[in-house]
Amino acid sequence: MLVCHCQVVNDRRIRAEIERGARDEVDIALACGAGTQCGGCLPAVNRLLDECVQCPRRPAAVFVDPAAPVAVG
């Protein structure tokens, strides 16, 4: 099944990258380019990452907006 239409990457390729050690969307993007253009395939990429029970997900990165107001008190 084609997962990433922009980069023409199918589910078998993504599963293969997960088996080789990809643990998040960034790993998948670096390995095969999926998710690097419109991002429409990222939910499907994440489902494939979640399907692999022997492949623990890397904790999601926390992005902090340095321009955001800081709550005090």
* Among 5-13, 18-26, 47-55, 57-65, the segment contacting ligand FES (CB under 6 A): 5-13
Minimum distance of ligand FES from residue 5's CB (angstroms) = 4
Tokens 């050690």 correspond to 21
Burial of 54 (0-12, 13-18, 19+ CB in 10 A): exposed
Tokens 């990809």 correspond to 22
How many CB atoms are located within 10 Å of the residue 41 CB? 23
Residue 28 lies near ligand FES (rule: CB under 6 A): no
> Which residue, 35 or 48, has its beta carbon nearer to ligand FES?
35
Residues that bind ligand FES (CB under 6 A): 4-7, 34-41
